[in-house]
Structure formats: C-alpha cells, structure tokens
Structure 1
Amino acid sequence: MVSVTRTVFGELPSGGGTVEKFQLRSDQLSVDIISWGCTITALHVKDRHGKASDVVLGFAELEGYLQKQPYFGAVVGRVANRIAKGRFTVDGKEYHLPINREPNSLHGGFRGFDKDRVHKISVLVITTSVVSTLSPGVIALVEGTAFDLRKPVELGKHLQDHHIHGFDHNFCLKGSKEKHFCARVSHADSGRVLEVYTTQPGIQFYTGNFLDGTLRGKSGVVYPKHSAFCLETQNWPDAVNQPQFPSVLLGPGEEYNHTTWFKFSVA
C-alpha cells in the first residue's frame, strides 16, 4: 500500500511561486520529491534489520537547491550530460548553447529542467553529474582495464588503487530499447542492495569527485570528496555531434519515452 502526502516545501524568491513536496511511502521505503526540478530530496530505505535511513544527498530547505550546487537529485535537460563546446549542427544550421561548464554546455545550460517548477510529475530520472572534460566520439573496451566493473569491486579500495581522482565516465550499455539490467551496488554493513534497470543506452558513473566539503546538507552533514556516487542513466555524451552514437534528436510529432528503475532490497 502506497500513501502520498503533499506539503509546502518553500517559496521561490521574487514571487516565483510555491514549491511543494510530495512524499510517497510504502512498507519498505519512502521518497520525498519537490516540484523544483522534480528533485528527490530524501530517500529512506530499510537495512537488513528493518531500520530506515536516508541514502541520498540533499538539503532540508529550498534555499539549498537555489544555491550553486551539483544537481542533487534533480531531473536535468533538455539534454543530460554535456554538448562539446556548446554547439551542434542540424540540417546544415549551427546552433550555439550557453557554456555553463567550461568548455561545454552541461545539463541544459544555466537554466535547465533542474531549475524549473514542475506542474505535473510524469517521469523521474535521478542525476547528479558534474563533468569537465570531453573525449569526443571515443568508445573504448573495458576489458583488461580499471574500468572493467562487470565483476564486483570494493569501491573505496578500487578508487585508491586505480582511480584516485574518481570516476566520471559514461558506460555504453549492451541492450535494446527494452528494459535491461545495468548496475548492482551492495553495502556490506547495512545489507542494502541497489539494482538499476533502464531503457537508456548509457549510464554515467560519478563518484562525487568535485564535492569538497563546502556544502552542508541535511542535519548539517558536510559532503566531502567521494562521499557519494551517482548512477545516471542517459544517452551518450555529445551524441548530437557524434553520428555514430544513438541519436538524441527529437523531431516534430515524435515522442521521448525512457524509463529507469531503481530497485532496493537487502541481503
């Protein structure tokens, strides 16, 4: 049985309107979603002993989401991830986008979906990406490299041994446009297990590399480097400029429809 409660989360400045919070609760978990960026602000999941804890980063008040912060829990777009140098060409015409993360356009520019008030919630896509560089059009095999995560690794040790600066990479998934498995994460101490399924062709794995301890979240908790990770289902970065990549263009009369499932369990 799922219950839904609706409350006021805060007021936007300059008469911008009211931001509401919707809490969806079941026997196993609860999730708080606000109408600013369709942002997930809290996600309480039970451990093997039945104790629920919040497993996402975020802020207790609206002001935290209005400051400069790394897209905690928000839906991003129009195009997730980055477009190289903020430009692309369609039908012979070149378009220029705002450069909001040098030297690229990231997550829809300075005012993407994450900075908009949502009036109807019909899709949820969690993302918290922060990116800086781009290797245009490069698809590399993971076999025999430190990027091969097809077998479980202990993340902290793997970062220390192979990726001291962390992951911020798109993994190209094998699979059709139907639902397919793409990631599994387990936490030994709590027994929590997260599995991710998607219809998208890629998933960005990001390990909070640019968190530096300057942000304070819920309950005054400081968020230092590598204090969280993100699994962001998406199309491949800069696909609009890479004809060999799955297309991100949506023509007149066409419909965009992708689904991502985040499945929690205990072991």
Structure 2
Amino acid sequence: MFCFSDVWMKELKRRLIFVLASDVNPEETLEAFAYWSYPQLYWRVGGPAYRQAGFAPVSVRGAVNGLVKSGEVARIVRDSQPRFRLTVVGRDRWWQWFAGSGAKGRWNKVWQMVMLHRGVLPQVDLRRLRLLLEEFGFVALEVGVFVAPGVETREVKRRLMDENLARAVIMVETKRFTVGDDRAFAAATWKLDELVGRYKKLISRGEGLLNEVIRQKKLTDGDKLAYNSINLEWMKLLLGVPRLPYKLLPSDWPHLETVGLMVKLANAVRELEEEGMASNT
C-alpha cells in the first residue's frame, strides 16, 4: 500500500546520505568520512532551502536512527554529544543514488535496446518497467522502446524475471551504427548540452559563494541559505545525470571539476561553521 510518509522519509534519508558525503569525493574515497553533529545536519536538511519538505529536527533524528540501524551510518558519542558518519555501506548507497556520469570508464561499444513485444502493458506495469530500466541507465526513445550503452545484461534479465516483466519485452545488443555516430546519438538522446549548461551555472554559483566564505570570519544565515540552495541543485543534478561511458561524453564535460568545487565549498563552509562553534564554547 502506498504511504506518503514512507516516500517522505526515504527522501530525507537520501538527503542525509548526500550531506554526510558532501565534504569528500565518495567516487574516490572509501573511509575518509567525517563525523557530523545533529546541529550540523539540522540546518543542512531542514533549513530554509528545504522548508517545503518540512524536515524538522525530530524527523532528522528519526531518519538518522533508521540509517544507523541499517548500517549506513555509524554513531559515536563525544563530549556527551552523538556524532555520525557514513559507513562503507552508506557509501554504496550514495553510489547507487548519486554516482555521476562517466563512472563507466571502459566500454566495449555495445548498446542494449529493450522493446515491448507482446501487446500493450497496463500503465502500472509500463511504469514499473520504465523505473526498473532507468536504474540501469536506460532512456526511453519512445513509448515501449529503451536504449542504453554498456549495461550488464545478465543483471537486467534477472531483474526483469524477478518483476515478471521478461515475458513482455525483448532485449537486443548491437555494436554498429550504420548511419550516424554514437556520440552524436548520445548527446541528443540524453540532452548532454543542456546538462553541461546546468553544470556551468552551478560552478559559477559555487565559486561565488566559496570566495565569499573564504573571506568571512563567521558563517551567516545568508551563507547557510545560499549553500543549501546550491547543494540542493547539485543533488538534483546528480540524480538526473546519465551514467554514460567517458567515450560518449562531450570533451568539455565538467563533472569532475564540479565535484572538486563542491567538496571545497563543503569543507570551507564546515570549517567556518566549526570555528564559530568553538568560539562559542
């Protein structure tokens, strides 16, 4: 049975995992995650930029406790205050949700296509099929036709069988474009030029705030609001970025540049925040 509160809590947990990994590059780092206090988490997921979601401190604590129970977050106590960090299990969850495009460094130039072949699926089953295939990086070319490069076909087949959807589709592989080329096809299908534009706008905003934070002696509420806004846009961008092989990306693909900038910004904000916390003790 659908429950809105379950969806709401899942979104809160996803944002917490994103925040807990924000000051490192999880694509390169296994166990360098720092510990965070409740006050540091409250404003990052419950501040003005998230006001519509209504993530109150009590909800944040409930979500953190759930992540501790699932093994995705570790808990310690220092100076009578609990602190939390992402575990390797939590990093794997981050990877599942946020791993950026270009994660597939090697590619054998094989494309996979999934097509409906037995009549018309009910709308609810078609939606299940679309969501399942999107997990593997497929994109819909039209209703009932999906394509992706370099997918692990055995895993896709297993999931289709588990969901009782294999009976309704066929999956084919090809290495050859007889007309056109694969990079142009990828750029048009995944709208990569638009994504580059979004990356560059985020870089511009992030660099501006980073310069401000470096010059300041105290983290203001305005800084927190600006940081939350930028960080939320970064999370949304990562959730929508396709996991394509490097060979299919534009030569100016700015993903790694953006990752480096956002890690610097997260650390600068945290350092200024902790300096203020230390001066108040």
- Category of TM-score, reference length = shorter chain: under 0.3
Q: TM-score, normalised by structure 2?
A: 0.26
Tell me which protein shows more helix as a share of its residues.
2
Q: Which has the higher contact order (CA 8 A, sep 6+)?
A: 2
Tell me which structure has the larger Cα radius of gyration. 2
